[in-house]
């Protein structure tokens, strides 16, 4: 009898946990990038293409370089679990310390999930080739890089902002001089006002 009671309690607990998980998924808000401050965003105001500019810093124990960065991408709104994602390409220019950075095996992806009013979490996946002088020639994978985004109403930038701070890149291959740990920091802003809405 005690075993039946224990089993029944276990089943009830599992069913309650499943109901809670299901409710969480159902309550996940849609994420849209909108040219107007409106929620939900009207179909005609959904941003289809995005241009972001800013800086990227690669920091290691051997060298730290900073580059200008441009991201051009197509926005896929309201995808899996209510997020928005951008598929596009990065261009790096003007890197310091005689370095260069190039994107490999594109397109890279930026996934955004709205967390509240004008705020979203950001996840980036990208493969980057970093070269500095004759010795540092490294291929780095950025998987699950995490950051934040703010729309114009909360951002310090006029059009909104997206920031990643010291996210660790994994070395895929490269010369013996590739640093064991390289941290990526990115700060970008859209060229037009981009509201984070539903």
- Global pTM value: 0.78
Confirm or reject CATH 3.30.70 for domain 31-197, answering yes or no.
no
What pLDDT sits at residue 36?
95
**Alpha-carbon distance values, 117 to 32, 71, 150, 151, 152 (Å):** 12, 24, 9, 9, 11
Residue showing tokens 């929620």: 39
Q: What stretches in the chain show pLDDT beneath 70?
A: 1-29, 77-83
Distance from C-alpha of 161 to C-alpha of 168, rounded to nearest angstrom: 21
Distance between CA atoms of residues 52 and 65, nearest Å: 20
Domain ranges for the chain, please list them. Answer: 1-29, 31-197
What are the pLDDT digits (tens) for 22-56? Answer: 333 334 457 889 999 998 889 899 998 889 999 99
Query: What span, in angstroms and rounded, lies between the C-alpha atoms of 170 and 126?
Result: 11
């Amino acid at each position: 009898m005690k075993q039946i009671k224990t089993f029944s309690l276990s089943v009830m607990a599992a069913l309650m946990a499943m109901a809670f998980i299901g409710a969480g998924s159902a309550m996940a808000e849609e994420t849209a990038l909108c040219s107007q401050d409106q929620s939900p965003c009207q179909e005609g105001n959904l941003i289809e293409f995005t241009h972001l500019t800013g800086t990227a810093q690669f920091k290691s124990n051997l060298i730290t370089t900073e580059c200008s960065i441009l991201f051009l991408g197509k926005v896929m709104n309201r995808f899996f679990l209510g997020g928005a994602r951008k598929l596009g390409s990065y261009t790096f220019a003007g890197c310091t310390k005689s370095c260069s950075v190039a994107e490999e095996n594109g397109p890279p992806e930026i996934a955004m999930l709205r967390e509240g009013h004008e705020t979203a979490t950001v996840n980036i996946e990208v493969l980057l080739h970093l070269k500095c002088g004759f010795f540092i020639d490294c291929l780095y994978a950025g998987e699950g890089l995490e950051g934040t985004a703010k729309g114009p109403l909360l951002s310090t930038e006029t059009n909104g902002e997206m920031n990643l701070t010291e996210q660790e890149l994994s070395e895929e291959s490269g010369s013996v001089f590739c640093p064991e740990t390289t941290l990526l920091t990115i700060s970008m802003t859209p060229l037009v006002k981009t509201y984070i809405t539903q």
